[in-house]
Structure 1
Amino acid sequence: MSKGFGERLLWDIAIDQAQEADDGPKSEDAALFFIGSKNSGKTSIILRFLDRDEAPKPTVALEYTFGRRAKGHNIAKDVGHIWELGGGTWLSKLMEVPLNPDTIQHTTLAIVVDLSKPSEIWFTLETLLAAAKSRIESILTEMKQEQPGLKDKLHKKAWERVGEEHSDKTMIDPFLIPLIIIGGKYDVFQDFDSEKRKVICKTLRFIAHTNGATLQFFGLKQEQLVMRMRGLISHHLFGTTMGKSLQVDHNKPLLVAAGHDSLQQIGTPPLSDKDIGRVHAKNPMQLWKHAFTGFFPQDDISNPALVDDPAKDPQYQEAAIDSLRAQKDEELERYRRLCERRSKEAQRANTQTVY
């Protein structure tokens, strides 16, 4: 087929576009990193998203899986990387594996809190948010020589997620990477006293809003919540369109996209009249902390002793290794008793010595 001057075949245009794609920046596979309360439902969320019909097992340390999504009618598929950190708050050091210089620009952080245990919610969020921010700052410091403008780039993207002209701009400090706060075990939470639900919902909305995060509740027994969560994960892993529904009624499962809430709608912290005059808070976050922890005193869940020992988990049984472990435990116990006996003998000898 001949073509006149100024005419271009479809094939020519396709070649040009392919060359432009080769010259441009390469797209990276997106990743989603789940952290949060122990037994809050992280594994269940991942399994339902991947459509795996299996019972969730306790997560030991850090686990990895992935999901695939077909690219239109092509054979090729997008890959979404999924990481999950077990152990609640005390293994936060392992954030260094999924969050690193190679992944920082295409990773979303999802913090899951257990709505059925309000005595752990503030501690969990405060601890994990601080650990994640510290890790991100370490990465930016490490990359400062190679990419000096990276922090400004992440900050600009963060404000694009929230809305650069948001009315609460002076009160918002957006997280530098996409952040999701998930309230797990809504099936239990929905039976709480109305006032308790109201306090928890308002507090989570405040924390999410001031960090530029998306907030969403999840429960296994409600298919609508499962579908919403699958849509949210797909949006962050594969760039699919996310619904713009907004649900802020504490009598219903919350659904608030980043930047779609406001401090005016959230309202004031749940403080009593006598507390309002005597609370000395340096910033609004401390005021909300005082209000929430006053209503729900927090448990310290950072103690490693509270975490299940994976060596005793039946799913990790190995006869030869277990036998050797038992032998070493016996040797250790004999050595402990020997040291204790020698210590007592030394004490008696010192007591009987005449100077």
Structure 2
Amino acid sequence: MDIWDLAKEKVKANEEKAASLEEKLDDELSGHLATEIKRRHESHVVLCGNSKSVKDIAHLWELGGGTNLTSLLTIPLKAANIEYVELAKNMCMCLSKAIIESARKTVDLTMKDDEALKQRTAKGMKTRMEKYGDDAKLCAPFPIPITIIGGKYDEFQNFDSDKRRIVCQTLRFAAHYYGANLMFFSSRMEQFHRLGKNVLSMHAFGTVAPQGHIVDHSKPLFVKCGDDSFEAIGAPAAASSAASFSRSSAPIQLWKGSFLEAFPQKTLPNEHGEDLSLDPLFREPLIDRLVEQKQKDLELFVRHKREKPQTTENST
């Protein structure tokens, strides 16, 4: 059995395991299990649409693992579909400089050798920024459309009012700063199902954008790109005044600092560094044994190459 057959079997086993885990989470989403699930579900989604075929098709790629696997963005982000791509980021990752810069770099590399594609993408970004006015000078718009999604609204609506306000202000700023759309969502609340489908259809197939504009922190936010302003959003608590905010060379960092003051983040220890294959959560006995054997073969090969010149020298 080769590695591809093992991979196919593992995919099938993972699907069954995921279904079983989902049922288990509904019954006992608590303790260490819940912590690990939440940690592993730091992700963003790449949406690729194709409305030219007989059937409308949208491909959704979810990238998990936080900042560890951002290099995989090169898989869905191709020159052939970059004009039909939408990035959807969760509320924490929209403040991550590493995620944003990695995605931006990937998009730039994708368009590097296609001047016509660059011009079309720049034109699309300019169109999205038309309603910004003077705010555009303080923004760092992303080259392709982004939608920032505040998930689990069924839980968020029960937060303290002040905390909801801070989260909503921060998300509104991030969306306005990056030229993104902003929406709240919950798979457990029926009112969001139609909205989610309409937003998906808008980005994948160019259908009419859902109507509405909600910025009240006591309600689920829905703000389309260009429908907000820095003046309406206000300054973060960390800034002493709106003037100091406008003079800041990195306003997104002011908002991030203010957010982290209200919501201190727990640093999860990464005992194994960047090598996720050593993480117990990623143990795959069959695959691991094959990898171990390949590593041993490589070590023997390297050792043989190092010893060969010495043997030749001694013989002479």
Q: TM-score, normalization: structure 2?
A: 0.67
- Distance change >3 Å, CA 96–CA 272, structure 1 → 2: closer
- CA-CA distance at 1:60 after TM superposition: 12
Alignment check: 8 A CA contact 2:46 2:76 kept: no
* 1:35-50 equivalences in 2 (<5 Å): none
Identify the match of residue 125 of structure 1 among 79, 84, 96: 96
What is aligned with 2:79? 101
Query: How many percent identity over aligned positions?
Result: 35
Identify the match of residue 176 of structure 1 among 123, 143, 167: 143
What is aligned with 1:159? 126
Encode CA deviations 1:96-138: one digit per residue, 9 max, x unaligned. Answer: 101122222221111123xxxxxxx268633211110111122
- Distance change >3 Å, CA 232–CA 305, structure 1 → 2: farther
The amino acid that maps onto 2:77 is L
Encode CA deviations 1:59-110: one digit per residue, 9 max, x unaligned. Answer: 8999999999898xxxx21222221112222111111101122222221111
- Distance change >3 Å, CA 89–CA 268, structure 1 → 2: same
Identify the match of residue 68 of structure 2 among 87, 90, 93: 90
Query: After TM superposition, what 4+ stretches of structure 1 lie above 6 angstroms from structure 2?
Result: 54-71
Runs of 5+ consecutive residues of structure 2 not aligned to the other structure: 1-21, 26-36, 297-316
Tell whether 2:165 aligns with 1:187.
no
- Report how many aligned residue pairs link the two structures: 256
Identify the match of residue 284 of structure 1 among 242, 247, 251: 251
Identify the match of residue 105 of structure 2 among 134, 145, 160: 134
- Give, in whole Å, the separation in 2 of the partners of 1:293 and 1:60: 17
What is aligned with 2:262? 295
Runs of 5+ consecutive residues of structure 1 not aligned to the other structure: 1-53, 114-120, 333-355
Alignment check: 8 A CA contact 2:43 2:63 kept: yes
Which structure has more relative contact order (CA 8 Å, sep 6+)? It is: 1
Alignment check: 8 A CA contact 1:216 1:256 kept: yes
Give me the CA root mean square deviation: 4.2
Tell whether 2:206 aligns with 1:235.
no
Alignment check: 8 A CA contact 1:244 1:257 kept: no
- CA-CA distance at 1:205 after TM superposition: 0.5
Structure with bigger gyration radius: 1
- Give, in whole Å, the separation in 1 of the partners of 2:208 and 2:96: 28
- CA-CA distance at 1:229 after TM superposition: 1.3
- CA-CA distance at 1:289 after TM superposition: 2.5
- CA-CA distance at 1:166 after TM superposition: 3.2
- Distance change >3 Å, CA 283–CA 272, structure 1 → 2: closer
- Give, in whole Å, the separation in 2 of the partners of 1:62 and 1:209: 18
Encode CA deviations 1:203-255: one digit per residue, 9 max, x unaligned. Answer: 11001001110011111221112221121111111222121201111111111
Instruction: Tell me which moved more, 78-87 or 204-213.
Output: 78-87
